Amino acid sequence: MKGRVVALDHWRGREAAALMVDGRLEDLLIDPAEGPRLGAIFAARVERPLKGQGGVLVAWPGGQGFLRRAKNLAPGDILPVQISGFAEPGKAPPVNDRLLFKSRFAIVTPGAPGLNVSRSIRDDDRRDALKGLALEGMNGSDHGLILRSASQDADDDDILSDIQAMRELCEATLTPPLQPGVLFDGDGAHLTAWRDWPAPGQIATMDNSFESHGILDEIERLADTHVALGPHSMAIEPTRALIAVDVNTGSDLSPAAALKANLAAIKDLPRQLRLRGLGGQITVDFAPIAKRDRRQIETALRAAFRADPVETEIIGWTPLGHMELKRKRERPPLYPLA
């Protein structure tokens, strides 16, 4: 099926959204099975510092998190924090005290003043118009604002309404005095899809939309570590220590088989990690190549992950010739380790 389709449904009792492009699953959002959603905000009490880890534990009724920046904080202080990622089982999720109130067009940034427009919007006239909307929407506020790239072609009234909604949510959430507890639940998969996939084309909201668009079959295939890449393949295997990726040339016996297999794997790797909800340390065992080809591999990696919404850092080559990556854990794993 050609075109873009956003399917909103549930998977294993959890809110879920899938983005299909020309019949291929491009993105998948599923609420966590347990624990808070990404972006949830809590009023938390500072607990004990974790020596050697550069942060402190913060707690709220029913949960706790790890705050890395802990300067000028003392045990007993109460401050708002936001869930910024997912942790391994048994560990506290990372939280941030630099809050973001994020919607489709606008991001309000309390404590970080300034009115900014996405750098991807390059038309000077449009940038000037958006700055005018920002000034109007944030008049009298000390909070900052970022207008997202989706503002490029959006209706001005819709943008202004979005700014005002995020500003009101921010001000209502952070009204003192703060008592330990939930301040904001975070956006579910359906709202996140509306927020981050601004040009869906067709929207399917029936209860069986995943089944009717073949998404359930796609999700089931993601349980397999094997990923076919034409004549080549790769295996993606999560362990407790890291994500291991192994690239194979398969039936291709041509002189350039290794380089072709590696480039094919790089092209699909961001999508595979995104769909599986995998992050943390990643080690890629590429098919053997000459050292002179490493620069081409590095260039392809940077280009592939630059277009991915999840922040990924390319660390470099190990002495054994493996490539190391570090990827933010922004999504819960689709199939957690047993």
227 and 321 fall within a common domain: yes
- Asked if the structure places residue 167 within a domain, the reply is yes
How many structural domains does the chain have? 3
Residues 208 and 155 in one domain: no
pLDDT, tens digit, 9 for 90 and up, residues 62-100: 999 999 977 888 899 999 999 999 998 888 999 999 999
Torsion, Cα of 68, 73, 77, 78 (10° steps): -40
pTM of model > 0.85? yes
Which tens digits make up the pLDDT trace of 165-190?
Answer: 999 999 999 999 999 999 999 999 99
2's CB contacts (< 8 A; 6+ apart) are 22, 23
- Compute φ and ψ for 191, nearest 5 degrees: -70, -35
**Would 37 be classed as within a structural domain?**
no
pLDDT at 1 over 70: no
pLDDT of residue 199: 73
Question: Does residue 185 lie within any of the structural domains?
Answer: no
Given a cut of 90, is residue 54 above it in pLDDT?
Answer: no
Regarding whether 308 and 226 lie in a shared domain, the answer is: yes
252 and 320 in a single domain? The answer is yes
Mean pLDDT of 156-168: 97
Coil, helix or strand for 331? coil
Is the pLDDT confidence value at 338 over 70?
Answer: no
Domain range for 129 is: 101-173
Distance CA 236, CA 226 (A): 7
316-326 pLDDT per residue, tens: 999 999 999 99
| Residue 202: per-residue pLDDT | 87
**One domain, residues 122 and 169:** yes
On whether residue 63 sits in a domain, the answer given is no
Higher pLDDT, 31 or 337: 31
Which tokens sit at 254? Answer: 């041509």
